[in-house]
Structure 1
């Protein structure tokens, strides 16, 4: 079971820490544990409770009414609301609860309902990505365990792969050729997989090389296929002080290709981009390039 600070709950639920303290004192609706130094800590049960309260409040329930509900009554109301067509923040809340419970069936229902309502691409951009961003810092700090991270990442990965399969062999005559890869040591693949889908969905050709690709292998494939674009996601490798050297090396080695970079180590960083390199700040940037 994970442990959360009050700031973690604030980030995941959107409920301010000050408000959570008021609920605790006035309604006794949540009862955090205390450390030896009297700091509030919360567990998975508390987080689910706060997420459910937040969802109910957003749909017209007063906190005074919610405080009188049993756990079962609250869960029933939340499920009733969740089965309707919801907005994006509601869906992110629902995904967070399915992650806490490691509930694959609930995850599948949420994602499949959203894909039918919004389409796969919009579900990824407006629900999955914000969800991953919201909980990403909690993974890093250890507030959410590896099991929960792996559970959600693998389910999302499977969804993207199925969507990619539906876009195979659809290249248009004027489509460009993209070579997609992660640098050596880089294992965070979801962004690269979704880029694969986005590019194929616009009838371009993709050569997908996946995780942790050595430079020698990148050179071999490039010389064989001569792609128009090289696309890399740099989240953790190369490390911060090596990224600029890596970008410059690629730009020098592949001067005839357009280089596209995204990921934590390049977006919002002071990276000098050579003439043949572009930083992709969001999926919408990639969509514009793939559409052109």
Structure 2
């Protein structure tokens, strides 16, 4: 069965645009800004074009336009105004919305065109921190509310991953490597969300250090093999959905007993680290609340 969405509920529109369903209903009644389809039981359904229009309206609202004024514009006029707004390369919300539309339509060309547009004025680091991180935060919420499918999430994640890899290769080609500290990057068993960890790979090599990237679903028991080849290792892991929340402290302590010693450290980041009791973890384990916090310590 094909579960990829091409029509959306009003709740989906709320999740994607940030505009409350109640407000959308009022705008429909008062200003006729959207014309939803109706089921036999009178439930509203919206097309991709309606979603695009609502995202454009949301952007114009951010730039000071009133809905009473926007509602008088033809669709062509709204598109023209959007073009004027996005001439300002700081129009972060436009880029996030464009990437969302690329995701919903499985549109690689829109993704790459939007990225190229951003690249005219921004570095890769700025694009990732200012646009991709908010985008992925939104996508996490969209996935949790069933607004998007795993196919949507995987599509956009793989495209972002390609950009990270390209930029890692660029940096590695131009820099000498400092082996005074080696970073071993891996994800816990059954953890597959690696965008954050891959971006940290980029930041670490940008600072000249060696990275051993082991990626998804790597049992920590195998990581100690690296001690045979390197000293002063920082084992870096990103906890998004694994380990289980109730066992995260036990997992960290087991990881520490296997890997600490010989000057090694363990650095942890991700959504689940907020559930680590810092009073119960050994010295040598560092927990970070955000990517910028961790980057400062490299």
Please give the range of the TM-score, normalised by the shorter of the 2 chains.
Answer: 0.7 to 0.9
Give the deviation of 1:127 after TM superposition: 0.7
Farther-moved stretch of structure 1 (241-250 vs 68-77): 68-77
Number of positions where the alignment pairs a residue of Structure 1 with one of Structure 2? 289
TM-score normalized by structure 1? 0.87
Residue 206 (structure 1) aligns with:
211
1:255-292 CA-to-partner distances (Å, cap 9, x unmatched) read: 222111112222x22434322111221111121011xx
Are 1:148 and 2:155 counterparts? no
Residue 290 (structure 2) aligns with:
282
Farther-moved stretch of structure 1 (62-71 vs 198-207): 62-71
1:124-165 CA-to-partner distances (Å, cap 9, x unmatched) read: 111101111012121133211233212211110000000000
Give the deviation of 1:57 after TM superposition: 2.7
Are 1:176 and 2:184 counterparts? no
Are 1:157 and 2:165 counterparts? no
CA distance in 2, matches of 1:5, 1:231: 41
What is the correspondence of 1:70-149 to structure 2 with a 5 Å cutoff? 70-149=74-153
CA distance in 2, matches of 1:278, 1:37: 55
CA distance in 2, matches of 1:41, 1:279: 44
TM-score normalized by structure 2? 0.86
CA distance in 1, matches of 2:186, 2:232: 12
- CA separation of 1:164/1:276 partners in 2, compared to 1, >3 Å: closer, same or farther? same
- CA separation of 1:216/1:228 partners in 2, compared to 1, >3 Å: closer, same or farther? closer
Contact 2:102 2:108 in 1 (8 A): yes
Structure 1, unmatched stretches of 5+, are none
CA distance in 2, matches of 1:190, 1:210: 10
- CA separation of 1:206/1:284 partners in 2, compared to 1, >3 Å: closer, same or farther? same
Farther-moved stretch of structure 1 (188-197 vs 208-217): 208-217
Contact 1:182 1:234 in 2 (8 A): yes
